Each structure stands twice: as structure tokens, then as C-alpha cells.
């Protein structure tokens, strides 16, 4: 048995999990705890408190998934004044081997720790065991990554594909692009500005400002509050959650149209990623949004726009497409990544 420490490190929350690993039995969770990241000056005191509370000896290996790019074993968190370096962490924590990985790389590793109950299949496709795999996930931002098989083992690679250009495909999407350029006074619009939690709110504002449908008082208040708090670090409301719930309940026409446009853009971008990789090993949809709006993801719009690629559409119809339901896939992946160190 090997004692491992896995972590999911974000600007708001840090989750740590102590795990036992064996080649025959896999992962066994011993203890888990969540911390407010902003209450600590660095990751080290969080780990020290965690291990003390868990009454644990020092783990042999650790892997921390970071919400942001990892460059030469270092990471600077976007919304937190932490600078993490594996050499320093190794020395201060006494753990022999530590790695930092991008949070979407962790999702990639985590796929191999999921069960059938952790997945919902949108498209069975024609699975090819040696083919690449892809991961895409809308949440706070839009994460993307891919996996390639090397020597009987998959290697996981993160990407910053969510920051590629948003590619409108019809008149309404062209209008959305111009709206975002003008509203934010920017030169280009990344696909993350449309396919993300922020994107849901942006689409809603676009349709609202064009008087596509009448606002409901409850959602109007949520969006107004969010707009007033736009320049603050602490947000008290998530309008995307209100909009998604109203669309599911079919209680608000503007929200329904917002989510329709969001899902069409989401499917199209997933199809773009699939065209570049041809992931016949499977395309996995991660992130916090898809599991909350499953009926909308299953109504056909996502797959229609996923496969609507002209002459290449028949290729995409053969790619297995799955939604990851287990929101702890990143922690599972960090643990599996630690086991490889």
C-alpha cells in the first residue's frame, strides 16, 4: 500500500484527500476535508493542518490539481496570491515526491477511476481502444484537454483551447459576437466567453437587451445583482444557476432561449475539438454545468451541433460522447496521477 495525498486547489476552495493505493485494489479514501483558500497564506499550512487532523503519517507522494497553467513545476493561482513550487513544497512538507498538474489534466487522469454509474452516454459511437481521448468542460471557464496512448498507458495533456476564438455560425451568433465586442470593448471574443457559466449570463444579457422575450422578476433581480457586483471579488448570486433552473422548469422563455443558444455553442465547440483530435477513445464532457442541466443536454441540440460539420459529420457520429456525473473526478485524477510518480 502507498499513502498518497491528492488536492484540488482553487482560488475559493481547497479540497484535500488522503488515499491508500495498491495495484490490485486501486484507490481507497481514508480522509477528506475542504478549506477556504483565502483563509491561508499558502498551501503548506493547509496540508499541515489536514495531516494533523487526519492523524496521518507523511504521505509518500502528492499531486495537486491547480485551476490554471502549470509551468516548469510551478503555478500561480489566478484569484489567490499563492505561488506554488514543487521543490519548495517537497522541502517544507517532507513529502518525497510532489507534482502540480492543471485541473483539466486531473480530470483526464480521473476518467480511469470512474465507474459506469459516473457517466451518462450521449452517443455510443464506435469505440477504438488505441485512439486519442478528449475532455471538455464548461464551468467557471471552459477547460479542454486530451489523452494519447503511449506504451500501453495514456498520457494526459492539458490545453488552453477554451481561449480560442468564438466562431459564430449563424446570424444570431454573429450578433452575439458583435454584442460582446462592443460591450467589453475588446478586439476578439474567446469561446470561453460564450461556453461557460459567465457565458450563460452573457447570452442572457444579449437576448434581454435585444428584447427577444420578457424578463421574469426573479431572474432579472439575480442578473442585476450580479451586474452590480461585477467589479467585486465576492459574488452573492450566480445568475447562470437561476437561468438554467428556469429553462429546465420551462418557466421563463428568455432563460429557455438562453440555454438553447448556450447548448448549441457548447456542442459546436465540442465538435471543433473532436475534429482536431478524432477522439474515438471517447469525448468526455466534464465541468459543473452539464450534470445540472442533463435534460437539456439530452434533448438533441448538443449532438446535432456536435456533428453538424458538413462532410465531416459522419466521422463525428462515430465518436463516443459521455457526460461525467461524478464531480470529484479531479480529485480522483490527482490521486491516480500521484500514484504514477
Is 10 assigned a ligand-binding role in the annotation?
yes
- Helix, strand, coil percentages in the chain from 3-state DSSP, rounded to 5: 45, 25, 30
User: Binding residue per annotation — 271?
Assistant: no
80 within 8 A of 37, measured Cβ to Cβ: yes
Q: Is the separation of the CB atoms in 43 and 98 below 8 Å?
A: no
94-100-101 Cα angle (round to 5):
155
Q: How far apart are CA 60 and CA 213, in angstroms?
A: 58
Q: Which residues pair with 26 in a beta bridge?
A: 22
| 137 known ligand binder | no
**125 backbone φψ class: left, alpha, beta (φ>0; ψ -120 to 50):** left
What is the rounded CA–CA span in Å between residue 233 and residue 316? 40
Question: Would you say 7 is a known binding-site residue?
Answer: yes
**Residue whose grid cell is 517544507:** 92
Bridge pairing between strands 119-123 and 321-324: antiparallel
State the cell numbers at 108. 483526464
What's the grid cell of residue 177?
459576437
Q: Find the farthest-apart pair of alpha carbons in the chain and give their distance in angstroms, rounded.
A: 61
Strand 321-324 vs strand 153-159: parallel, antiparallel, or unpaired? Answer: unpaired
For 236, other C-beta atoms within 10 Å of its C-beta total 10
Could you give the CA distance from residue 97 to residue 164 in angstroms, rounded to a whole number?
34
Contact yes or no for 2/21 (Cβ under 8 A): yes
Q: List the binding residues for ATP.
A: 7-12
Q: List the binding residues.
A: 7-12
Amino acid at each position: 500500500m502507498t499513502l498518497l495525498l491528492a488536492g484540488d486547489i482553487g482560488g475559493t476552495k481547497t479540497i484535500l484527500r488522503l488515499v491508500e493505493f495498491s495495484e490490485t485494489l486501486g484507490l481507497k479514501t481514508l480522509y477528506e476535508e475542504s478549506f477556504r483558500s483565502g483563509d491561508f497564506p499558502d498551501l503548506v499550512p493547509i496540508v499541515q493542518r489536514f495531516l494533523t487532523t487526519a492523524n496521518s503519517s507523511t504521505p509518500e507522494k502528492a499531486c495537486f490539481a491547480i485551476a490554471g497553467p502549470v509551468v516548469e513545476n510551478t503555478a500561480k493561482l489566478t484569484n489567490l496570491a499563492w505561488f506554488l513550487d514543487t521543490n519548495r513544497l517537497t522541502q517544507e512538507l517532507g513529502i518525497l515526491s510532489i507534482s502540480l498538474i492543471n485541473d483539466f489534466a486531473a480530470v483526464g487522469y480521473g476518467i480511469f477511476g470512474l465507474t459506469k454509474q459516473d457517466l451518462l452516454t450521449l452517443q455510443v459511437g464506435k469505440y477504438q481502444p488505441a485512439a486519442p481521448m478528449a475532455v471538455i468542460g464548461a464551468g467557471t471557464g471552459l477547460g479542454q484537454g486530451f489523452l494519447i496512448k503511449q506504451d500501453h498507458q495514456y498520457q494526459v495533456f492539458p490545453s488552453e483551447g477554451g481561449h480560442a476564438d468564438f466562431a459564430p455560425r449563424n446570424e444570431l451568433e454573429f450578433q452575439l459576437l458583435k454584442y460582446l465586442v462592443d460591450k467589453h470593448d475588446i478586439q476578439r471574443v474567446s469561446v470561453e466567453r460564450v461556453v461557460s457559466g459567465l457565458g450563460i449570463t452573457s447570452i442572457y444579457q444579449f437576448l434581454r437587451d435585444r428584447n427577444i422575450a420578457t424578463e421574469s422578476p426573479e431572474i432579472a433581480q439575480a442578473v442585476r445583482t450580479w451586474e452590480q457586483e461585477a467589479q467585486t471579488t465576492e459574488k452573492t448570486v450566480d445568475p447562470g444557476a437561476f437561468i438554467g433552473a428556469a429553462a429546465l422548469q420551462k418557466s421563463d422563455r428568455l432563460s429557455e432561449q438562453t440555454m438553447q443558444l448556450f447548448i448549441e455553442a457548447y456542442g459546436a465547440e465540442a465538435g471543433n475539438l473532436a475534429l482536431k483530435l478524432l477522439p474515438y477513445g471517447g469525448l468526455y464532457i466534464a465541468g459543473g454545468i452539464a450534470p445540472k442541466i442533463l435534460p437539456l443536454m439530452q434533448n438533441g441540440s448538443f449532438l446535432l451541433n456536435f456533428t453538424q460539420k458538413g462532410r465531416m459529420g459522419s466521422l463525428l457520429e462515430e465518436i463516443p460522447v459521455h457526460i461525467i456525473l461524478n464531480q470529484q473526478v479531479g480529485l480522483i485524477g490527482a490521486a491516480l496521477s500521484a500514484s504514477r510518480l
